[in-house]
Amino acid sequence: MDERGRREHGGPERRDPLDKPVGPSTLSVHGGEPRPKPAHSLATPIVQTATYTFGNTQELKDHFDGKIERVEYGRYGNPTQRIAEAKLAALEGAGDCLLFGSGMGAMTTALFAMLSRGTHVVVTDDSYRRTRQFLNQTLSRYGIEVSTVPAGDYEALEDAIKPTTRVLVSESPTNPYNRILDLERFAAIGRYHRVKTVIDATFATPYNQRPLEWGVDLVVHSATKYLGGHNDLLAGAVLGSAELVGAVRGLQGITGAVLDPFAAYLLVRGLKTFALRMERQNANAQALAEFLAEHPRIAAVHYAGLPGHPEHAIARKQMRGFGGVVSFEVAGDLDAATRVVDACTIPFIAASLGGVESLIEQPAIMSFYELTSEERLEIGIKDNLIRFAVGIEDADDLIADLAQALDRAFASA
């Protein structure tokens, strides 16, 4: 801070609390935010404008020459957005962050920036279905080839790589079965073949897992979920090196898939309690998973925090916690799962996840209703599967509610 800044602050320069490594909650509250903030505000201000003015032509030239750091036009960024990006970069340990109007806006723009006609991309078969649809249905129209390989089959992943391959895409944990990718092995395959690696880490969040630390090139989040945390905004984020994110930023300026200032403000506000929320949701989900694993009406529980999970050892190696989503199969059919969902009184029936309220749904109905039971099974979605996105309610209450729902559902069968 210069002398003018010290005078405006009203005292001597304060040392930045983040000059040394700090814990995740301190980082959630203070990371990426300047001191002092504009107008000496404690909360990050909402700069609600699309247009920015210049004092004179020289200032405009200095901006284009890179001599001063400022915003030119709303499609290229916003001061509120910049603070949200800096906070997320600090939490993820990234060189840079770029925000979008949705998670799919982040993923599609990043892939468009990294691929061109005649190139090839490999994706694991349990990646988010809209990402796979974009790759297989949209990008194929532009002369981009896509190979899909089974999740967890690293030999198949490596065998699918061609001279034209530019990107490997995967997700960890996955939706809805909470499969865990060995990030270190995934990144090593990418480095060996000189192709970029992209991970959708929405389920994990930077609290539980930081893929960049394991060598992954680019991380994508639906910030709508745990990062916002309150089911009141849509946003997406791309994080990685300044060079790689800068290339995506250039394309965003053309496509215009930007985040509005108010959503950026809500994201900053939500991130203040991010670490606290994740601690609670991790604990709640672990307790719920352990209860379900012992229940006689449950056929299977899919949660990486359980020792019986196929990638439990990998999850323990690379994750702080195991996330707030528990998927489980009831001992019955589609109707049995429906009865359980409808008998719950605390969680709302809704899509999405990561907010303070618990949500519950049947993937067979919520996401794949248009398919037959046989078609759903072919892509791994069982009729008796339920996804429970755990909120921050008391674990004992969530367990008691689910217990009575299971009792009611099977008593009426």
Residue 82 is a catalytic residue: no
CA distances from residue 341 to 177, 215, 294, 391, 411 in whole angstroms, order as listed: 18, 40, 19, 16, 14
User: Which residue in 128, 177, 265, 303 is the catalytic one?
Assistant: 128
Angle subtended at Cα 141 by Cα 135 and Cα 147, rounded to the nearest 5 degrees: 40
* DSSP one-letter code for 138: I
Query: Rounded CA gap, 58 and 351, in Å?
Result: 51
Query: Rounded CA gap, 163 and 402, in Å?
Result: 51
Residue 335 is a catalytic residue: no
User: Which residue in 200, 217, 260, 383 is the catalytic one?
Assistant: 200
| 205 contacts 167 by C-beta, under 8 angstroms | no
User: Which residue in 225, 272, 382, 387 is the catalytic one?
Assistant: 225
Indicate the Cα dihedral angle 111, 157, 303, 199, nearest 10°.
Answer: -20
User: Which residue in 35, 37, 62, 75 is the catalytic one?
Assistant: 75
Query: Rounded CA gap, 271 and 262, in Å?
Result: 14
| 239 contacts 245 by C-beta, under 8 angstroms | yes
* DSSP letters for 42-99: SSPP----SB---SSHHHHHHHHTTSS----BGGG--HHHHHHHHHHHHHHT-SEEEE
Residue 225 is a catalytic residue: yes
Residue 200 is a catalytic residue: yes
Query: Rounded CA gap, 276 and 226, in Å?
Result: 11
Name all contacts of 376-384 with Cβ < 8 Å and 24+ positions apart.
380/126, 380/177, 381/176, 382/329, 383/333, 383/334, 383/337, 384/299, 384/329, 384/330, 384/331, 384/332, 384/333, 384/334, 384/336, 384/337
Angle subtended at Cα 17 by Cα 15 and Cα 19, rounded to the nearest 5 degrees: 80
Query: Among all residues, which ones are annotated catalytic?
Result: 75, 128, 200, 225
